[in-house]
Amino acid sequence: MLQTINPFLVAGMLFFLSLVAGALSEKIKVPALILFLAIGMLAGVDGPGGLVFSDAVAANNVGTFALAFILFSGGFQTQWSDIKPIVTQGVILSTLGVFLTAVAMAVPLAMLPQFSYKDAFLLGAIISSTDAAAVFSILRTQKVGVKGALKPLLEFESGSNDPMAVFLTLTAITWLKTPDVPVTELAVKFVVQMAAGGAMGYVMGRFACYAIQRLRVTNEALYPVWGISIVMATFGLTETVYGNGYLAVYVCGIVMGGGDFLYKYSLQRFHEGFAWLMQIIMFLVLGLLVTPREVFDASVISIGLLVSFCLMFVARPIAVFMCTIFSRFNFREKLFVSWTGLRGAVPIILATYPLTEGHPQAAYMFNLIFFVVLTSVMLQGKTLANAAKLLKLDAAVREAKAWTLNFDITPGSGTDITREVDLKPDAEVIGHAVKDLHFPDGVTILLINRGDKYLIPKGWTVLEREDTLLLFGDRAKLSGVEAQLARRAENSEE
């Protein structure tokens, strides 16, 4: 039994097993979050680990803390230029779409004898948000991408729809505790939370960029501490002024991701790793909290399958098609967006709220939500790549190059070192020396990836087919250089 072993050793073992599971998930085509949950369940009361953990409040606090950093990291990695064309459609899906999903789920749930119409809306609210992190993790492991604006749309929707789901869940709980609360009061509360969350996120993001430019810390290793403090301060201040902290940290991340400051690349890498740590901790804790024999009880399975069917084939498609009725997306794209509504950790975290409030059916709801999440990830996750191919929306996944050098931008320089250009076989520059390219001042080639080699270019270095160039230069000039490198030779076949 794990409870008889030193707690530091237990934690180390669980983290190590999670790391192994993350690597294994790519080989066996099973989402990592399922394996993380499985490790937690095996370490729990019904598993060989025998750890007893039933503190819903602690699990809720851990989930809240972890989710704040996960959302911030998602925003920090987001490029505004990528999401700008779809931001309006994404906001509609992440607000109205979540609400429509909750309502569409509440209707069939209210018909079941186990739930009142208020309980049905609470359940609908809890499972209303999606987890596109799981979507793209699955697509990456299966070497499948998606075309056009679908990728930024799904990423933006998943990063921004959690605040709405949290609001609806807390609203439903308030409605259960105070039945006569006016609807207008709830509507005003929603507007205030979202407005304050967005405003605080933007202000804190701008403040963080401004302050870090003027913060001269002698030890570079202390900059991650600055990043952690920004996330915690943003979430805490926003919640203090009755705003939505989840929305605030996501917006703060987007603002910082678009800013220029020293050690930005290092800070992004740190938060990416820290977000993974938070995901592992969150899934392990949620796995420990659940009791497998209760989740796989016959009554939970029967109702859970019904809920999963309604969610995947009725509620999600209704919400997506209604929210995209005036969009430019075609039927196949809307169908794919509907199918990518995977549920992840957020619904399980939200399911701990009724537990902390002492709701009479809280334990049953938690087990039901847990089962629905497992069903969603396993069924939709295993068929996602096939769905993209069937709908002819799949695209080749561009493997990230393992550049042997890392660079940080100089604040205020307007430079961007993240541009990578793959030379096509028929590119006009093939066979030309670097010195003959006549790039504008301020733009240079830092490295050339050629097969398994990384070359530092000289003036006489000749470009070859399918080279990958790492460019460094003025952001305003890079687009022209990219267009030059993409130009096809005049004698190439059209």
Residues 222 and 94 in one domain: yes
Would you place residue 401 in the very low, low, confident or very high pLDDT band (cuts 50, 70, 90)?
low
CB 436 within 8 A of CB 488: no
- Calculate mean pLDDT across residues 305-317: 95
Residues 335 and 238 in one domain: yes
Q: What is the pLDDT of residue 494?
A: 42
Q: Do the domain assignments include residue 408? A: no
Lowest-confidence pick of 422-426, 481-485, 486-490: 486-490
Residues 385 and 451 in one domain: no
Q: Do the domain assignments include residue 87? A: yes
pTM of the model: 0.82
Show which of 333, 365, 395 is a domain's final residue. Answer: 395
Q: Provide the percentage of residues in the chain whose pLDDT is more than 90.
A: 34
- Calculate mean pLDDT across residues 420-438: 85
Residues 171 and 299 in one domain: yes
Show which of 395, 426, 461 is a domain's final residue. Answer: 395
Please say if the pLDDT value at position 414 is more than 60: no
Indicate which CATH number applies to the domain containing 93. Answer: 1.20.1530.20
pLDDT per residue as tens digits for the range 87-111: 899 999 999 999 999 999 999 999 9
pLDDT per residue as tens digits for the range 245-281: 999 999 999 999 888 777 787 888 899 889 889 988 9
Show which of 395, 423, 445 is a domain's final residue. Answer: 395
CA distance 468 to 172: 52
Residues 363 and 441 in one domain: no
Residues 383 and 250 in one domain: yes
CA distance 75 to 129: 17
pLDDT per residue as tens digits for the range 169-203: 999 998 888 878 787 888 888 899 999 999 999 99
Q: Do the domain assignments include residue 130? A: yes
Residues 376 and 319 in one domain: yes
CA distance 411 to 260: 5
Q: What is the pLDDT of residue 492?
A: 47
Please say if the pLDDT value at position 399 is more than 70: no
Residues 424 and 384 in one domain: no
pLDDT per residue as tens digits for the range 36-67: 888 999 888 888 888 888 889 999 999 999 99
Residues 375 and 422 in one domain: no
Indicate which CATH number applies to the domain containing 475. Answer: 3.30.70.1450
Residues 449 and 374 in one domain: no
Residues 419 and 391 in one domain: no
Average pLDDT over the chain reads 85
Where in the sequence is the domain holding 305, given as residue range(s)? 2-395
Q: What is the pLDDT of residue 140?
A: 60
Q: Do the domain assignments include residue 400? A: no
Instruction: Measure Cα distances from 201 to 75, 87, 226, 264, 278 in Å.
Output: 11, 16, 16, 18, 21
Residues 188 and 228 in one domain: yes
User: Looking at the 3D structure of the chain, how many domains does it have?
Assistant: 2
